[in-house]
Amino acid sequence: MEEVPDCAVEAPSEGGVHQSGIHFLTNQEAKYAWSSVRAEQWNDWRWQVSNRIIRLEGLERVIRLTSREVGAIRSCQRIFPMAITPYFASHLNTTNPRCPLRLQCVPRMHELAIGKSDMCDPCGEDRDSVVPHLVHRYPDRVLLLATSKCAVYCRYCTRRRLVGSREVDISDENLDAICAYLKKNKKIRDVLVSGGDPFLLEDSRLESILRRLRAIPHIEMLRIGTRAPVTLPMRVTESLVSMLRRYHPLFVSIHFTHPQEITPEVRQACTLLADAGIPLGSQTVLLRGINDQPHIIKKLVHELLKIRVRPYYLYQCDPAMGLDHFKTPISRGIEIIRSLRGYTTGYAVPTYVIDAPGGGGKIPVGPDYVLNHKDGRMTLRNYRGDIYDYHEVEG
């Protein structure tokens, strides 16, 4: 990774826009850390990836770290490395260690504490891996892990056993084996391409995967799971979108966590995808101290709908190693869903799920609106607490 440039003499022009055309927040450290970077560099996703902040010295030039953060960065590198794109770093609060974006990407000492229920592979993906890089758990769909690379290493990553230690992409031999398995299993109609982050692949490599999957007659739909539109929005280029639209029906699930992530750049990235006819969904992990308040999730889902992203899942935090400090009580997630249901449009209400530890799959959890069901009568409670009876048709 290139060194972050020293403080440059040229100051941003009024309104937070550098004379080169780069948009910065009022983050003074970010303004000066990258003030010598040209607009074409800043907006180049490859430059962003190659210049990720991976060392303490680089981050110290952008935000004012606490002594505990300094100690955590030094201590946690051996268990899960740090990587933050310049774009995402420029949106961190420089002085507040409780900044919701900062908590997601800057290591904390809590990661060194291993909880009693922590698991290396909390979702049991290795157990259900039928061939390397392919997980087959549900009857009609599979998970294809295309790469171990991510633009930003989220500290609550459930696949930290695979991501971060080394960055590798799926090989042609692996893809051959996957396609051979899929061709033999004609009940499989849906493939989710995830990682890591598939959008970290070059257009040509991602297309080669999609093309081979689309050539299998019984594969009806393709999905891509990504966080790049949030942490690396310049990755969503016209050429990428033009390529993706050749593989409809194709869906993209984007990992959003907090409303502060929805910047003008992120809006533009989602607009490009949505305008190409690609349905967008959001998957959000419930995280203590970051988004575990009803008003925060409500703001997030409303902002998502404004950029044509449908809130899809709200996940209970998985019991991966060292994530106890991120976990919330399940009752908090139920409370959040109750605060949404009936109080806003149904499009804004995600499904709250627990990914059953060990590979049991996603189990929906939510408020109980059914009070009694007996002798053809169901007693229901609506969002305001009013009671209603519904009588079923006999037989």
Q: What is the sign of the dihedral through the CA atoms of 130, 136, 142 and 148?
A: negative
Active site residue 98: no
207 occurs within a structural domain: yes
Sheet with 370-374, strands from edge to edge, namely: 370-374, 377-381, 387-391
Residue 249 preceded by cis peptide, ω within 30: yes
Catalytic status, residue 128: no
Pair 77, 171 in one domain: no
Domain CATH number, residue 287: 3.20.20.70
The yes-or-no answer on residue 270 being catalytic is no
318 is catalytic: yes
Q: Helix 203-214 vs helix 172-184: angle between axes, to the nearest 10 degrees?
A: 20
Rounded CA-CA distance 341/292 in Å is: 16
Catalytic residue status for 179 = no
Catalytic residue (choose from 102, 149, 159, 235): 159
Note whether 324 and 230 are same-domain residues.
Answer: yes
Q: What is the pLDDT along the chain (395 residues), one digit of tens a residue?
A: 333 333 222 223 333 333 334 343 446 777 778 888 999 999 999 999 999 999 999 999 999 999 999 999 999 988 899 999 999 999 999 999 999 999 999 999 999 999 999 999 999 999 999 999 999 999 999 999 999 999 999 999 999 989 987 789 999 999 999 999 999 999 999 999 999 999 999 999 999 999 999 999 999 999 999 999 999 999 999 999 999 999 999 999 999 999 999 999 999 999 999 999 999 999 999 999 999 999 999 999 999 999 999 999 999 999 999 999 999 999 999 999 999 999 999 999 999 999 999 999 999 999 999 999 999 999 999 999 999 999 998 76
Q: What are phi and psi of 374, to 5 degrees?
A: -155, 140
Q: And the tokens for 248?
A: 């409809």
Backbone angles phi, psi at 221, to 5 degrees: -145, 150
- Which residue out of 138, 343, 383, 388 is catalytically annotated? 138
Active site residue 310: no
- What is the residue type of 113? A
Is-catalytic flag, 374?
no
Which of the residues 205, 288, 338, 362 is marked catalytic? 362
Q: Tell whether 217 and 299 lie within a shared domain.
A: yes
- Residue 348: inside a domain: yes
Q: Is 78 a catalytic residue?
A: no
With beta carbons less than 8 A apart as the criterion, state whether 199 and 224 touch. yes
Of these residues, 318, 324, 327, 352, which one is catalytic? 318
Quote the pTM value.
0.91
Number of domains in the chain: 3
